[in-house]
Structure 1
Amino acid sequence: MSDRNKGILLLLVSALGFSLMGAFVKLSGDLPTSQKAFFRNIVAAIITLGFVLYHKERVFGKKENQKLLLARSALGTVGIVLNFYAIDRLVLSDAEMLNKLSPFILIIFSAIFLNEVARRFQVMAVIVAFIGALFIIQPEFSVDIYPYIIGVLGAVFAAGAYTFLRVLGNKEKYYTVVFYFSFFATVVLLPFTIVFYEPMSVQQWIYLILAGACATAGQFGITLAYKFAPANEISIFFYSTVVYSALLSIVLFGQIPTLISVIGYIIIFGSSFYMFLKNNQTDMKQAK
C-alpha cells in the first residue's frame, strides 16, 4: 500500500472514530455538557499517558513550548465543550458539519496571526463554505438557532487550537500534545463536573468511556495520516465523518437531516473538494 493510500485509510478510520464519539456522547443522554467533556478527556488522558511513558518522553513537553501547549489546550477545551453542546441539541450530522467549518476558519486565522497569504481560491472557498453553513443553520433569528451558533463557535475555537498546532509543528510528539490537551481539559472541567454532577447509570458510564476511546483513536488516526501524506492531498476524505454521522443519526436516533441541510452539506463538501483540487494543482506547478 502506498503512503498516500495509508494516509487515506487512516483518515477514514479517524473520521469513523470521531463520528462514533459524537454518537456515544449523544447516547449518554441528559447529562451536563461539562460532565460529558470531562469523561471524554480523562479517558483520552489515561490512554495517551501510556504512549508518552512508553516512548519515555517528557509528560508535559518541553519548557520552551509551554505557552503554545497551554494556548492550544485552552482553545481546544472550549471548542470541545461547545461541540458537545451542539451534538446534544442538533441532528448529529448537522453538528458534525458545522464543526467541519474549522479548516476554512483556520485559513482566516493563519492569514491574520501567522501572516500566511490566503490565495484567491481559498478566500472563495471560505465564503462558499459559510453560505453552506447558512443552509444548515437556516437562520430565523429565534432561540432555535442558538445551538447552531454554538456549533459554529465550536469550530472557531477548534480553528484557534489548530492555529497553535501549526506553530508547534514537530516541536513536540503527537501523543505528548494530545495528552497535554486531554489532561488540561480534565483539570479545567473537574470543578464544573463536581458542582453540576449528575449520577450516571452503568450504561452511561460505558457510553462515555467509549466516547473517550473513540476520540483518542480519531485523534491518533488524523495525526498519523498526515505523517504519510500532505494534508492538501488527503484532507478531503475526513469529510466522510459527515456521512458516518448521518447514517448513525438515522440508525440510532431516527433523525433524518432536512433537504436544506443536505444542500448545505453538499455546498461545504464541494467547497472543500474545490480547495483540495486547487491545492494539488498548485503543488504540481511548484514541483515543475
Structure 2
Amino acid sequence: MIQRRSRPLHGALLLAISSLLFASMGVLIREASITVNNENIVFFRNIIGVVFFLPLLLSKGLKPFKTKRLKSHLMRTTYGLAAMYCFFYAIAHLPLADAMVFTYSAPIFTPVIAYFWLKESLTKRMLFFSLIGLIGVILVAKPSGAVFGSLSLVGLAASLLAASAFVSIREMSNTEPAYRIVFYFAVFSSLISAIPLLWAWQPLNTQQLILLCSAGLLAALGQIIMSHAYSLAPPGLIGPVAYLTIVFAGIYSFILWNELPDFASILGALLIFTASTLTVLWRKH
C-alpha cells in the first residue's frame, strides 16, 4: 500500500481555495433557489461535474478513471449526496444562520470520525482548536433559539454526513487521485439525483440555467481542490480551515447585499482564522 503523504500547509491552502469556490457557489445557489426547486438544484449541481470531465474523457479515454475502489467511491457518494440533500433541505426550512452553523460544523466531527475510521491521531489540541472554530462559526452566524427542533436535526445530519465524506476521501487518497474521486462522485450523484426529477422536474429559463451551470462548475472545481487537499493531510488536522467558507460568505454578503458585520461577526471571523491557522502551524511533529 502506498504511504499517504502529509503536507498540512499545502493541504490547508488548497482547502482555503476550495472554501472560496464553495462560498461563490453558495451565492449562485441562493439566487437560483428563489425560483428553482431543490431537486433540480441538486441534479444540476452534480451533472455539471460530469460535463466538466468530458474533455478529459474525449482526449484520454476511460483509462485514467479505471479503479479498483468502486465500493469506496459508492460509499463516498452516499455520504456526500445525502449531506447535499440535507443541506438544501435545511436551507429551505431553517433560518439561514442555523443552517450555516450546522453545515459548517462538519470539521468538528471530522477528527473523531477519522480517529475511529482511519485510526489517525486525535489530540486534545486538535479538539480544542476545532471547538474554537465552532464558537467562531456560532458568533458569525448568530443562530436563533430553535436549535434542537427536528429540522435542526437535518442540519446536524448534514454535518455528520459531510464529515464522513471528507474522511472517506482521505481513506481513498492512497490509491485514488483527486480527479477520479470527483469524477465518480459526479457520475453516481447525477444518476441518483436524476430519479426525483421524474416527479419534480420544472422547465428552466436561460437565467436559471446560467445560475445552475455556473454553480455546478464552481462546485466541480471546488471538489477537485478539496479532494486533493484531504489527500495531503489528515482531515482532523486541516478540517477547521473549511470554516473560511463562512468568512468568504460574509464578504459576499457585504459586497452584494450591503450586510455589514457586527462586533460578534468580526470576533467570530478572528476565531475562525485563529483556529484554522493554529491547527496547521501548532501541530505535533
Aligned to 1:32: 37
Shift of 1:172: 2.0
Residue by residue, what CA displacement relative to the aligned partner does 1:146-202 show, whole Å, maximum 9, x if unpaired?
665544432211111112112111312322211111111111111212312233222
Aligned mates of 1:220, 1:121 — CA distance in 2: 29
Shift of 1:46: 1.4
Q: Which amino acid in 2 is paired with 1:245?
A: A
Shift of 1:206: 0.7
Alpha carbons of structure 1 residues 5 and 126: separation in structure 2 relative to 1, 3 Å: closer
Q: 1:183 aligns with which of 162, 187, 190?
A: 187
Specify the SS of the correspondent of 1:191.
coil
Aligned to 1:84: 88
Corresponding pairs, count: 276
Shift of 1:242: 2.6
Q: Is the 8 A contact 2:98 2:147 kept in 1?
A: no
| Paired residues for 1:178-257 under 5 Å | 178-224=182-228, 230=233, 239-255=243-259
Shift of 1:254: 4.8
Q: Which amino acid in 1 is paired with 2:72?
A: L
Alpha carbons of structure 1 residues 91 and 20: separation in structure 2 relative to 1, 3 Å: farther
Aligned mates of 1:132, 1:243 — CA distance in 2: 10
Aligned mates of 2:10, 2:173 — CA distance in 1: 21
Relative to structure 2, which stretch is displaced further, 201-210 or 218-227? 218-227
Residue by residue, what CA displacement relative to the aligned partner does 1:101-123 show, whole Å, maximum 9, x if unpaired?
22331101011222223111112
Aligned to 1:273: 277
Q: 1:153 aligns with which of 144, 152, 157?
A: 157
Relative to structure 2, which stretch is displaced further, 76-85 or 93-102? 93-102
Q: 2:50 aligns with which of 45, 51, 71?
A: 45
1:124 aligns with 2:128: yes
Aligned mates of 2:261, 2:93 — CA distance in 1: 13
Aligned mates of 1:114, 1:68 — CA distance in 2: 13
Q: Is the 8 A contact 1:92 1:249 kept in 2?
A: no
Relative to structure 2, which stretch is displaced further, 177-186 or 48-57? 48-57
Aligned mates of 1:230, 1:140 — CA distance in 2: 36
* Gap runs ≥5 in structure 2: 1-6
Q: 2:77 aligns with which of 56, 59, 73?
A: 73
Q: Is the 8 A contact 2:98 2:143 kept in 1?
A: no
Shift of 1:42: 0.2
Aligned mates of 2:19, 2:203 — CA distance in 1: 31
Alpha carbons of structure 1 residues 249 and 164: separation in structure 2 relative to 1, 3 Å: same
Specify the SS of the correspondent of 2:119.
coil
Aligned mates of 1:198, 1:154 — CA distance in 2: 25
Relative to structure 2, which stretch is displaced further, 262-271 or 120-129? 262-271
Aligned mates of 1:61, 1:95 — CA distance in 2: 37
Q: 1:168 aligns with which of 172, 177, 182?
A: 172
TM-score for the superposition, normalised by structure 2: 0.79
Alpha carbons of structure 1 residues 184 and 219: separation in structure 2 relative to 1, 3 Å: same
Q: 1:104 aligns with which of 80, 97, 108?
A: 108
Q: Give identity over the alignment, percent.
A: 26
* Aligned-CA RMSD value: 3.5
Q: Is the 8 A contact 1:12 1:240 kept in 2?
A: yes
Q: Which has the higher helix share?
A: 1
Specify the SS of the correspondent of 1:37.
helix
Q: Is the 8 A contact 1:96 1:241 kept in 2?
A: no
Q: Is the 8 A contact 1:98 1:155 kept in 2?
A: yes
Residue by residue, what CA displacement relative to the aligned partner does 1:47-80 show, whole Å, maximum 9, x if unpaired?
1243355344447642x31211100011000112
Q: Which amino acid in 1 is paired with 2:47?
A: I
* Gap runs ≥5 in structure 1: 284-288
Q: Is the 8 A contact 2:73 2:184 kept in 1?
A: yes
Shift of 1:249: 2.0
Aligned mates of 1:194, 1:180 — CA distance in 2: 23
Alpha carbons of structure 1 residues 230 and 97: separation in structure 2 relative to 1, 3 Å: same
